[in-house]
């Protein structure tokens, strides 16, 4: 009789132990994943420096990189916060260009009217941010309140934004901003480029919103299981709506930087960032089906991709081959992930056998 | 009879067909040349490639997958057969074989990545898209391939039957490319309706785990779908080249979005499990007619994207809202039933207490 009870308690205990072990493995796994990413970044950086002595590690190259990757990084974070919920936001680049085009129209017309440049720029930037919030709100409305799958909803809004942008520009670019507007994309404070500063602010904001707030916890919960989240008393629709607005605001920042860097606004600017930002989010450990993903991982993978593309550019590699290599990296990393997961599962299984 | 009528009313396809009819009436009210045989033939001819590729995309969406690499695959196919017929052979049969094999191989690669390595479809196809498009542009340098052999051009000009065009002396026939569209539609319909794989595709899209439990091999089915899609893209590549009579490696940029939009307009769900060949045909037609109608109504091309975006969003919203209302009705019915059963229990209790 006594033995039977003991057996029973043992049986009930083992699944708990298993769970704990699995959680531990997962935790270590995630941490090592980011460590590996950091190692890859350092490795790639050293490789590029050694292979092209004096050219990759030159002040000029590092500086041009520091001006280039912030817009890409902001797009990647705008994508990543949505991917964490199990969705995808295909409208990021057109939301950025649409808001920068409308901002550009305001900037140019106020500039022509002779309004002081500082006032013009403040109003222009405000317009860009407001439009980007509106774009995000439209996405949020369709995804959260109407309930359309994010991929389709943002596919629709992407086409819509592109159409509106094209209608304004008629296919051309809008230019003629006040000279001071270039400050956002082309100048530096204490030697640190302004776009980089904006990017750092965005990183910190996203980190606190996603990983250090109750709002962020809800976001991850939605990514794991929206139904369970709803039944545990979270207003899933509101959280998703606000998150899409946040994603929209980020695209607005990217739009400001791009308009300032190119000193013009056009609907097709930054289009290639769409797929790259999905790649960066996924390489950074974000689960495309939702629930996992960290700001740090995404930022490091943005840096890795930027170092590789800059390095290849220095070697004089054809830019189409760079695309090929980027695609290969995406596939190879995911394959390694798959093999790793398989091996871990096997290790876990064999451990179970030993303990049993 | 009444039952059939309500079934028709409720089916998704009928809703889209109604929209199609309404839009056609609006367009023909603005421009009388819309509903002429010649214009409709033009619409069909310029969208044969879209139609063929939408059949492959339908199968992919049915399983809950997605393929964003299709535009790069068809670019690669057109470049491969372009080079093949310019440099090696102008045998039409061989050109078809090369095109179809090339397309199927690229589809197989997608399938292997998704089925065997378990890479999520959108990420895997993003990767292959980047690789294939990069290679195509690197190897062609973005240059067009011209000088397509005369016999292939002649093949592309073959028409079937002769139909007098109203209002003029011209006689038009149905282009031979139309047959390939019919072939793709018939084959896809047959696979979905009459084969075990077709049943498996719906089953996987509905619920992968239960599909596997009833003995469907989801890995093999996934492999088949992406290879079949590649096969259709190969076919579409040859058809496209026979219509255009030259190869432009950049011709298909952004085409994947159009195909996905057209299939989704036709009622296929990106979550998988729902969608039909007839719905897809209607969706593709709707997509093409909107585009054609905008041109006929002299609306600047800049407006096209706005209209397509709005139509896409509203039609899916309409669908989702309708489904939600339908679900609500179901829940109500359940509550009513349970209430009445409670009442019945209460009556039973009373009767026993009385006894």
Tokens of A200: 């750092």
Cα(B12)–Cα(A27) distance, rounded to whole angstroms?
45
Residue for token pair 């509905």: B206
Quick one: pLDDT at residue A355?
Answer: 61
Q: Between residues B341 and B257, which one has the greater pLDDT?
A: B257
User: By the CB < 8 Å criterion, does B95 face chain A?
Assistant: no
Quick one: pLDDT at residue A311?
Answer: 87
A135-149, B92-106, B251-265: least confident range = B251-265
Cα(A99)–Cα(A47) distance, rounded to whole angstroms?
39
> Which residue among A147, A152, A325 sits closest to B264, beta carbon to beta carbon?
A152
Residues B184 and B261 in one domain: yes
Residues of chain B with pLDDT > 70: what percent?
86
Residue for token pair 């349970």: B338
Quick one: pLDDT at residue A128?
Answer: 94
- pLDDT for A347 beyond 60: yes
Tell me what the pLDDT averaged over chain A comes to. Answer: 85
DSSP state of A181: G
Cα(A353)–Cα(A335) distance, rounded to whole angstroms?
27
Quick one: pLDDT at residue A12?
Answer: 46
> Residue A21 — pLDDT band, cuts 50, 70, 90?
low
Residues B178 and B259 in one domain: yes
Cα(A181)–Cα(A195) distance, rounded to whole angstroms?
13
Cα(A70)–Cα(A185) distance, rounded to whole angstroms?
10
Of A24-28, A49-53, B245-249, B335-339, the range with the highest mean pLDDT is B245-249
* Residues B164-175 pLDDT 10s: 666 566 667 788
Instruction: Estimate to the nearest angstrom the gap between the alpha carbon of A160 and the chain centroid.
Output: 22
Residues B112 and B224 in one domain: yes
A148 to B316: CB separation less than 8 angstroms, yes or no: yes
Residues of chain A with pLDDT > 70: what percent?
90
Quick one: pLDDT at residue B128?
Answer: 92
- Residue A98 near residue A160, CB atoms below 8 Å: no
Quick one: pLDDT at residue A134?
Answer: 95
Residues B273 and B309 in one domain: no
- pLDDT for B292 beyond 60: yes
The alpha-carbon gap from B28 to the nearest alpha carbon of chain A, in Å, equals 24
Neighbouring residues of B119: CB distance < 8 A, sequence distance ≥ 6:
A331, A334, A335, A338, B113, B127
- Residue A92 near residue A75, CB atoms below 8 Å: yes
Tokens of B168: 């003029």
CB-CB neighbors (< 8 A) of A318 in chain B = 138
Domain stop point among B278, B297, B327: B278
Taking residues B39-61, what's their average pLDDT?
Answer: 90
Of A60-74, B254-268, B294-308, the range with the highest mean pLDDT is A60-74
Nearest to A295 by CA among A221, A191, A201: A201
Tokens of B329: 């009705």
- pLDDT for B284 beyond 80: yes
Tokens of A301: 């993978």
Residues 254-293 of A with CB under 8 A from B: 275, 278-279, 282, 288-289
> Which residue among A153, A161, A167 sits closest to B302, beta carbon to beta carbon?
A167
Answer yes or no: is B31 within a domain: no
A142 to B313: CB separation less than 8 angstroms, yes or no: yes
Residues B231 and B343 in one domain: no
Residue for token pair 């509203």: B314
**CA neighbours closer than 13 Å in the CB half-sphere of residue B37:** 12
Task: Tell me the residue range of the domain where B191 lies.
Answer: 48-278
Length of chain B (residues): 355
Quick one: pLDDT at residue A116?
Answer: 87
Quick one: pLDDT at residue A10?
Answer: 45
Taking residues B220-230, what's their average pLDDT?
Answer: 94
User: By the CB < 8 Å criterion, does B135 face chain A?
Assistant: yes
* Residues B167-218 pLDDT 10s: 566 667 788 888 999 999 999 999 998 998 998 998 888 888 888 888 888 8
- pLDDT for A48 beyond 90: no
Residues B103 and B68 in one domain: yes
Quick one: pLDDT at residue B339?
Answer: 52
Tokens of B258: 């159009």
Taking residues B152-159, what's their average pLDDT?
Answer: 83
End-to-end CA distance of chain A: 22
Nearest to B126 by CA among A206, A272, A14: A272
Residue for token pair 């769970």: A19
> Residue A316 — pLDDT band, cuts 50, 70, 90?
confident
Cα angle, residue B348 at apex, residues B346 and B351 outer, rounded to 5°:
110
Tell me what the pLDDT averaged over chain B comes to. Answer: 83
Which one of B302, B307, B310, B323 makes the best mutation probe of the A interface by having the most chain A beta carbons within 10 Å? Answer: B302
Answer yes or no: is B13 within a domain: no
Domain stop point among B261, B278, B295: B278
Cα torsion angle, A269, A274, A279, A285, sign: positive
B138 to A318: CB separation less than 8 angstroms, yes or no: yes
* Residues A213-266 pLDDT 10s: 999 999 999 998 888 988 988 899 999 999 999 999 999 999 999 999 998 888
Q: Between residues A251 and A187, which one has the greater pLDDT?
A: A251
Cα(A88)–Cα(A66) distance, rounded to whole angstroms?
27
Query: What phi and psi, each to the nearest 5 degrees, are found at residue B163?
Result: -125, 125
Rg (C-alpha) for chain B, rounded Å, is 24
DSSP-based three-state secondary structure for A288? coil
Q: Name the architecture of domain A61-333.
A: Orthogonal Bundle (1.10)
* DSSP H or E run through A86: none
Based on the structure, what is the number of domains in chain B?
2
DSSP state of A300: H
B305 to A334: CB separation less than 8 angstroms, yes or no: no
Could you tell me which residues are beta bridge partners of residue B159?
Answer: B175
> Residue A15 — pLDDT band, cuts 50, 70, 90?
low
Residues B147 and B251 in one domain: yes
Of A31-35, A196-200, B147-151, the range with the highest mean pLDDT is A196-200
Nearest-Cα residue of chain B relative to residue A161? B306
Residues B82 and B201 in one domain: yes
Question: Exposure string (b/e) for B281-295, b if CB count within 10 Å is 16 or more?
Answer: bbbbbbbbbbbbbbe
Answer yes or no: is B28 within a domain: no
Residues B117 and B64 in one domain: yes
Quick one: pLDDT at residue A205?
Answer: 95
Answer yes or no: is B1 within a domain: no
DSSP-based three-state secondary structure for A57? coil
Cα(B109)–Cα(B101) distance, rounded to whole angstroms?
12
Quick one: pLDDT at residue B12?
Answer: 67
The alpha-carbon gap from A259 to the nearest alpha carbon of chain B, in Å, equals 22
What are the angstrom distances between the C-alpha of A173 and each of A9, A178, B5, B148, B302? 72, 16, 54, 37, 14
Cα(B106)–Cα(B104) distance, rounded to whole angstroms?
5
Nearest to A30 by CA among A337, A315, A330, A250: A337
Residues B148 and B243 in one domain: yes
Tokens of B282: 């209607």
Instruction: Estimate to the nearest angstrom the gap between the alpha carbon of B281 and the chain centroid.
Output: 7
- pLDDT for B340 beyond 80: no
Answer yes or no: is B239 within a domain: yes
Burial of A52 (0-12, 13-18, 19+ CB in 10 A): middle
């Amino acid at each position: 009789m006594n033995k039977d009870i003991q057996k029973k308690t043992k049986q009930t205990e083992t699944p708990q132990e298993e769970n704990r072990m699995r959680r531990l493995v997962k935790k270590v796994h995630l941490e090592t994943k980011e460590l590996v990413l950091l190692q890859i970044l350092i490795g790639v950086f050293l490789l590029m420096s050694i292979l092209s002595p004096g050219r990759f590690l030159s002040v000029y190259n590092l500086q041009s990189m520091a001006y280039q990757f912030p817009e890409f990084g902001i797009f990647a974070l705008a994508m990543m916060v949505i991917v964490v919920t199990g969705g995808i936001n295909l409208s990021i680049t057109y939301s950025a260009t649409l808001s920068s085009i409308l901002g550009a129209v305001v900037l140019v017309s106020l500039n022509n009217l002779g309004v002081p440049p500082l006032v013009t720029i403040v109003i222009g930037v405000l317009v860009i941010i407001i439009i980007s919030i509106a774009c995000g709100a439209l996405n949020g409305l369709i995804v959260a309140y109407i309930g359309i799958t994010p991929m389709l909803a943002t596919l629709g809004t992407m086409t819509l934004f592109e159409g509106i942008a094209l209608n304004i520009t008629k296919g051309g670019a809008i230019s003629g901003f006040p000279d001071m507007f270039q400050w956002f994309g082309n100048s530096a404070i204490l030697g640190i480029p302004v776009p980089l500063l904006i990017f750092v602010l965005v990183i910190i904001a996203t980190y606190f919103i996603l990983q250090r707030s109750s709002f962020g916890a809800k976001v991850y919960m939605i990514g794991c299981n929206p139904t369970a989240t709803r039944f545990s008393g979270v207003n899933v629709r509101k959280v998703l709506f606000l998150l899409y607005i946040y994603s929209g605001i980020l695209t607005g920042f990217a739009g400001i930087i791009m308009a300032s860097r190119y000193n013009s606004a056009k609907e097709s600017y930054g289009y290639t960032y769409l797929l790259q930002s999905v790649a960066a989010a996924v390489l950074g450990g974000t689960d495309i089906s939702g629930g996992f993903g960290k700001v740090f991982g995404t930022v490091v993978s943005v840096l890795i991709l930027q170092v590789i593309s800059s390095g290849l550019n220095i070697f004089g590699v054809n830019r189409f081959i760079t695309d090929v290599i980027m695609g290969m990296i995406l596939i190879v990393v995911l394959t390694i992930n798959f093999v790793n997961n398989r091996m871990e599962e096997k290790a876990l299984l064999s451990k179970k056998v030993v303990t049993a | 009879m009444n039952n059939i009528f309500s079934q028709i009313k409720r089916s998704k396809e009928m809703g889209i067909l109604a929209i199609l009819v309404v839009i056609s009436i609006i367009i023909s009210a603005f421009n009388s040349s819309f509903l002429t045989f010649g214009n409709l033939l033009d619409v069909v001819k310029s969208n044969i490639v879209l139609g063929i590729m939408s059949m492959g995309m339908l199968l992919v969406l049915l399983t809950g997958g997605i393929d964003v690499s299709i535009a790069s695959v068809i670019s690669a196919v057109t470049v491969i057969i372009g080079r093949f017929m310019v440099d090696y052979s102008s045998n039409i049969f061989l050109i078809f074989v090369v095109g179809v094999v090339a397309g199927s191989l690229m589809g197989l690669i997608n399938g292997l990545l998704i089925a065997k390595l378990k890479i999520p479809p959108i990420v895997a196809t993003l990767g292959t898209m980047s690789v294939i498009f990069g290679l195509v542009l690197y190897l062609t340098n973005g240059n067009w391939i011209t000088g397509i052999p005369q016999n292939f051009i002649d093949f592309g000009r073959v028409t079937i039957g002769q139909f007098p065009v109203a209002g003029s002396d011209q006689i038009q026939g149905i282009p031979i490319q139309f047959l390939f569209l019919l072939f793709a539609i018939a084959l896809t319909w047959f696979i979905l309706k009459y084969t075990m794989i077709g049943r498996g595709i719906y089953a996987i899209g509905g619920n992968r785990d239960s599909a596997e439990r009833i003995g469907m091999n989801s890995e093999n089915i996934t492999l088949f779908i992406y290879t079949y899609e590649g096969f259709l893209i190969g076919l579409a590549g040859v058809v496209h080249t026979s219509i255009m009579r030259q190869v432009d490696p950049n011709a298909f940029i952004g085409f994947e979005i159009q195909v996905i939009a057209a299939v989704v307009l036709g009622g296929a769900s990106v979550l998988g499990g729902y969608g039909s060949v007839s719905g897809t045909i209607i969706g593709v037609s709707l997509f093409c007619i909107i585009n054609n109608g905008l041109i006929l109504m002299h609306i600047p091309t800049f407006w096209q994207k706005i209209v397509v975006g709005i139509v896409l969003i509203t039609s899916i919203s309409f669908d989702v809202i309708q489904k939600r209302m339908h679900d609500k009705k179901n829940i109500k019915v359940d509550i009513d039933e349970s209430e009445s059963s409670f009442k019945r229990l209460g009556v039973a209790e009373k009767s026993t207490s009385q006894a």
